[in-house]
Structure 1
Amino acid sequence: MSDIAQSVADIINENPSTMPGQIATQLGVSEFEVVASLPDDMGTVLPREQLDALMADLPEWGPMTTIVSLAGSIFEFKGSFPKGKPGHGYYNLVTKGEGLHGHLKLDAVAQVALVSKPFMGSDSHSIQMFDASGAIIFKIYLGRDKKRLLLADQVQRFTALKQQIVSAA
C-alpha cells in the first residue's frame, strides 16, 4: 500500500464521511490522487476510453444530481443528465426546455472515477470527472427518492459498471 493510500485509509477510518476534497487538502495532493487511493470498495477508476459510452448511457439513468465546484462555489442541478452530441470540440448537452444545459470539454477529462462513500450518514455513489492535474471538473451523484433512499435501478447500473471495470482489470 502506498503512503497516500495508507494516509487516506487512516483518515477514512477516523471519519468515514470525510470527503475526498477535504482529504486532498489535508494531505497536500490532488483530489484524483485521493480518489485513486480509496479502498477498492470505495473507488474505481474508469478507463478513459469508456467515457463516450458512459456519456451516451447517462441520460437513461434517470434523475441524478450534477455538481460543479468552482473557486469555492458549488452549483447543483437535480434532474436527468441530458443527451449530448459532439461538436466544435465540446460535448454539447441537448436539452429542450428546462434542464441542465451546457458544453462539456470532454478532451479536458483526463480521469473518471466511480466513488462509493458515505456522506452525512448516508450511502452515496458518484461518477467523478478530473482534469490532467487531478482537479475535479464535475460530479454526478446517483438520485434519491422522496424518502432520500438511493434509486435502486441506478445503484444496479453503477454496480454493474464497477464490476465490468474490475472484471476487465
Structure 2
Amino acid sequence: MSAALSPSLDEAETRRTRAMAALGEKPDGVVEAIAATAAVTPAEILALLPAGAATQAPEAAFEAIWAAMTGWGEVLFIVHTDDIVLEAEGSLPAGSEGHGWFNIHGDSPIGGHIRKENCAGITFVDRAFHGRRSCSVWFMNRKGAAMFKLFVKRDAARELIAEQLARFEALRDSYA
C-alpha cells in the first residue's frame, strides 16, 4: 500500500479502538454490522476476535480449500453486501480456472464464476453468533470484506452437523 493510502499510526489506533468498542457491545453479532457501526472493515473485526476464533490461510490456498470443501456435503453459501444477504444451500461443486474466472458448475444450486484474483486470503471463523457456535470459511477480498462465506450446516435440532464440523476443524487446524 502506498504511503498516501496507508493509515497513520494514530488513525489505525483510532480505527482499532472503534472496532473494539463495537465488538464489545455485540460480540456475537453480525460481523458486517459490527464493522459498519465502527466504520471499519469486517477484516478488522475478525482480526480482533479471541485467539482461535479467526484462523488465516493465504490466498494461494484458494483452490485447495475449495477442493477440500467439495466433500463436505450440503453447506450454506452466503454473499453479504450492503444491499442483500443471499443464502444458497447445496453441495459445493468442483471448480476450475478459465477465462480469468474460477468457474463453479455442477448439480448444485451453488454455481457461477468467482474473480479468484480478488481473493486476499481465507479466514476460518469459529465464534458465537447470537449465542450459538457458528463455523464458517470466509473468502476475503482486498478491501477487507468477504467475497462470500461458507457455513457448516445445522441439523434439525439446530446443532452443527458433526461430520461437517470435524472436517471444518481439521481443515482450519491445517492452517493454524
Aligned residues: 164
Q: Give the distance between the partners of 2:16 and 2:167, measured in 1 at CA.
A: 27
1:105 paired residue among 103, 110, 115: 115
2:29 is the counterpart of 1:25:
no
Q: How do residues 138-157 of structure 1 correspond to structure 2 at under 5 angstroms?
A: 138-157=148-167
Q: Give the distance between the partners of 1:13 and 1:30, measured in 2 at CA.
A: 16
- Kindly provide the amino acid, as one letter, of the partner of residue 92 in structure 1: N
Query: Residues 64 and 144 of structure 1 are in contact (CA less than 8 Å); yes or no, is this contact kept in structure 2?
Result: no
Task: Calculate the TM-score normalised by the size of structure 2.
Answer: 0.83
Query: Residues 42 and 116 of structure 1 are in contact (CA less than 8 Å); yes or no, is this contact kept in structure 2?
Result: yes
* Partner in structure 2 of residue 162 of structure 1: 172
1:105 to partner: Cα distance: 1.1
Q: Give the distance between the partners of 1:41 and 1:12, measured in 2 at CA.
A: 16
Query: Residues 77 and 88 of structure 2 are in contact (CA less than 8 Å); yes or no, is this contact kept in structure 1?
Result: yes
Q: Give the distance between the partners of 2:100 and 2:87, measured in 1 at CA.
A: 24
**Cα RMSD after superposing both structures:** 2.0
2:147 is the counterpart of 1:134:
no
Query: Residues 80 and 86 of structure 2 are in contact (CA less than 8 Å); yes or no, is this contact kept in structure 1?
Result: yes
Q: Give the distance between the partners of 2:17 and 2:125, measured in 1 at CA.
A: 18
Q: Give the distance between the partners of 1:25 and 1:143, measured in 2 at CA.
A: 26
1:66 paired residue among 66, 77, 83: 77
User: Which segments of 5 or more consecutive residues in structure 1 lack a partner in the other structure?
Assistant: none
Q: How do residues 41-80 of structure 1 correspond to structure 2 at under 5 angstroms?
A: 41-80=52-91
- Kindly provide the amino acid, as one letter, of the partner of residue 154 in structure 1: Q
Task: Calculate the TM-score normalised by the size of structure 1.
Answer: 0.86
Could you list the structure 1 runs, at least 4 aligned residues long, displaced by more than 4 angstroms after superposition.
2-14
Query: Residues 31 and 42 of structure 2 are in contact (CA less than 8 Å); yes or no, is this contact kept in structure 1?
Result: yes
Q: Give the distance between the partners of 2:46 and 2:58, measured in 1 at CA.
A: 14
- Kindly provide the amino acid, as one letter, of the partner of residue 154 in structure 2: R
- What secondary structure sits across from 2:148 in the alignment? strand
Q: Give the distance between the partners of 2:19 and 2:61, measured in 1 at CA.
A: 27
Q: Which has the larger radius of gyration?
A: 2
The C-alpha deviation readout for 1:58-93, integer Å capped at 9, x for no partner, is 110111100012342111101111111111111111
